[in-house]
Amino acid sequence: MTRTSLRTKLAAVAATGVMALGTGVLAASPAEAAVACPYEYFCAYPQPGFGGTPIMLRQCNDVRYIPWTTNNGSWINNQTPGTRARFILAGERGDAYTYGAYSAVSSGIDWNTVLYIDPC
């Protein structure tokens, strides 16, 4: 079975204009998700459906190591409108970016491929 890299998923999202990084769709409304991830934050979750203890980032260049090895995580980008988070990928893969805020993915994020996150 082949795995689709995060970079490939982001490229597909950019090409189609559809926010669906991962296999999930936004499970919570923006208002419900914002309760879990305050305004001006990028929140990464180790589990699908915004589950588990999140890593919450607010300041640009506050690069944070991702310790998880789960392959079905989620994230919420509740930063100021248009702000994109940067995923620093393992190996020679380079970087990948989320769509601008507000955006969220409820499942399918493979944290094995992400070493660090910079919220903006």
3-class SS letters over 40-98: CEEEEECEHHHECCCEEECCCCCCEECCCCCCCEEEEEECCCCCCCEEEECCCCCEEEC
CATH architecture assigned to 6-118: Sandwich (2.60)
Q: Is pTM, for the whole model, over 0.85?
A: no
For residue range 22-78, what is the model confidence (pLDDT) as tens digits? 433 344 555 555 458 999 999 999 999 999 999 999 999 999 999 999 999 999 999
At 32 the pLDDT is 54
Per domain, the residue ranges of the chain are 6-118
